[in-house]
Amino acid sequence: MSHPLKNDRYLKACLQQPVDRTPIWMMRQAGRYLPEYRQLRAEAGSFMDLCTNPELACEVTLQPLRRYPLDAAILFSDILTIPDAMGLGLYFTPGEGPAFHKPVRTKADVTALPIPDPNQELKYVTDAVATIRRELKGDVPLIGFSGSPWTLATYMVEGGTTKNFSEVKGMMYSDPAVMHQLLDKLADSIILYLNAQVESGAQALMIFDTWGGVLSPRDYQEFSLRYMQKIVDGLKRDHEGHKIPVTLFTKGGGAWLDIMAVTGCDCLGVDWTTDLADARAKVAGKVALQGNMDPSILYAEDDRIRDEVATILASYGKGSGHVFNLGHGIHQTVDPAKAGVFINSVHQLSKQYHS
Ligand code: CP3
């Protein structure tokens, strides 16, 4: 059952088509800052219990949309579902983040990695996509996502979070061929995974390259951007007569927006260390931009939040092609009322930038 989309501002802005106001959603909009999320997670047992149960993943996806007038929903899942499906054994320890029982360290490890079938090992994800799409009833579009190959490789080789990326950069510098083999396998897995999300109902896609910004410019092109390019080339860009916009987000990648803009993606995520006016000049109309408020502004007074929204809207300027967002995920200690102030400010202040 397919519903006509009631609010398509987000899709239009990604494609640089005219809109009546700037659309907004928040990275990590479903999550720990919401008491209803914490309650459901406690009932379910764990974060992964939410992700692997399509009904619960759907409920959590919809929670922020019941509170706020957001212009998009994002699948509730994680970027580490692919390495988990490859058999690395994902687990989360409170306060320390994600980790793997079996990190990838050698050529033999990389060669042994399977390419997961999205309709088998990752069926819980495509089932969640289909369930959420049905329950959204056409209110707003649903964004599907994955991590970038480089970002997934950092977790897989390190075995968890890291401060200085010694294992993954060690592999990259001492045995680049093995690193390329790993990244290529990840790109192939991600293409299958994202296309399966589109088949199941995702109406837009986003690739999170959280750790591309820790690379030198040359290494960024060789080890991160090249594989995002491969993914963009392999994605289904139309489904059921609609375009599927693709957003690439390299955190800390402000210096590389010009080369990211020619990958064939539709939109680039920008963090708060780059001014949106500079970003817009750099991409020269080739792509839309998403961003870019510092999530920590949500700890400030209401007026300060409104001022920041006004500044960011002005820095992008008039016309379509801007999706308002935070420059990274919302922090878990933010007061949900502050997210409301933020979202309402974008609604109120952005109309004047569109005719
Ligand atoms: O944006 C959304 O609302 C959709 C859901 C989403 C999650 N993770 C839910 C989640 C998305 C898009 C992600 C992506 C993700 N996961 C990224 C890329 C974006 C980014 O933040 O840079 C990364 C690097 C991960 C890996 C990961 N998963 C980390 C670092 C953590 C936090 C660990 C911790 O304890 O702080 C997770 C867990 C995670 N993913 C949570 C949520 C809501 C928190 C889980 C919980 O304790 O309830």
The preferred substitution site among 38, 79, 211 for testing ligand 1, maximizing ligand atoms within 8 Å of CB, is 79
CB atoms inside a 10 Å sphere around CB 337: 11
Residue located nearest, by CA, to atom 23 of ligand 1 = 79
78 is catalytic: yes
For residue 141, is pLDDT > 60?
A: yes
Residue located nearest, by CA, to atom 1 of ligand 1 = 28
Phi, psi of 24 (to 5 degrees): -140, 140
| Span from the CA of 207 to the centroid of ligand 1 (angstroms) | 13
Q: What is the pLDDT of residue 2?
A: 59
Say which CATH number the domain at 209 has.
Answer: 3.20.20.210
- Containing structural domain, residue 114: 9-353
What pLDDT digit, counting tens, does each position of 61-97 carry?
Answer: 999 999 999 999 999 999 999 999 999 999 998 888 9
173 is catalytic: no
Q: What is the pLDDT of residue 53?
A: 98
Q: Known binder of ligand: residue 354?
A: no
Q: How many domains does the chain have?
A: 1
What pLDDT digit, counting tens, does each position of 318-329 carry?
Answer: 999 999 999 999
Q: What is the pLDDT of residue 212?
A: 98
Residue located nearest, by CA, to atom 24 of ligand 1 = 210
316 is catalytic: no
Q: Please state, for a pLDDT cut of 90, what percent of the chain lies above it.
A: 97
The preferred substitution site among 28, 32, 43, 140 for testing ligand 1, maximizing ligand atoms within 8 Å of CB, is 28
Mean pLDDT across 286-309: 98
Give the C-alpha separation, 5 to 208, whole Å: 25
| Span from the CA of 352 to the centroid of ligand 1 (angstroms) | 34
Residues 168, 174, 179, 180: is their CA dihedral positive or negative?
Answer: positive
| Span from the CA of 4 to the centroid of ligand 1 (angstroms) | 30
CA 341 to chain centre: 23
Q: What is the pLDDT of residue 1?
A: 47
Cβ–Cβ < 8 Å for 173, 102: no
- Which class for 259: exposed (0-12), middle (13-18), buried (19 or more C-beta within 10 A)? middle
Is residue 200 included in any domain, yes or no? Answer: yes
| Span from the CA of 81 to the centroid of ligand 1 (angstroms) | 11
Residue located nearest, by CA, to atom 27 of ligand 1 = 98
Is residue 4 included in any domain, yes or no? Answer: no
The binding-site residues of ligand 1, defined as CB within 6 angstroms of any ligand atom, are: 27-32, 41, 47, 74, 76, 78-80, 92, 97-98, 145, 208, 210, 329
Q: What is the pLDDT of residue 12?
A: 98
Give the C-alpha separation, 68 to 187, whole Å: 35
9 is catalytic: no
Helix axis angle, 226-234 relative to 176-200, nearest 10°? 30
Give the C-alpha separation, 305 to 102, whole Å: 43
Is residue 2 included in any domain, yes or no? Answer: no
Name residue 349's beta-bridge partners. none
Highest mean pLDDT among 2-11, 86-95, 300-309: 300-309
Which secondary-structure segment (H or E) carries 97? strand 97-100
Q: Which atom of ligand 1 is nearest to the CA of 95?
A: 35
What pLDDT digit, counting tens, does each position of 187-233 carry?
Answer: 999 999 999 999 999 999 999 999 999 999 999 999 999 999 999 99
Q: What is the pLDDT of residue 335?
A: 98
What pLDDT digit, counting tens, does each position of 142-197 carry?
Answer: 999 999 999 999 999 999 999 999 999 999 999 999 999 999 999 999 999 999 99
CA dihedral 45, 48, 51, 56 (to 10 degrees): 0
| Span from the CA of 120 to the centroid of ligand 1 (angstroms) | 23
67 is catalytic: no
Phi, psi of 323 (to 5 degrees): -105, 115
Numbers of helices and strands, H then E, in the chain: 16, 11
Mean pLDDT across 238-252: 97
Closest CA to 13 of 292, 289, 325: 289
Is residue 3 included in any domain, yes or no? Answer: no
3 band by pLDDT with thresholds 50, 70 and 90: low
Strands 97-100 and 90-93, by their bridges, are antiparallel
Q: What is the pLDDT of residue 93?
A: 87
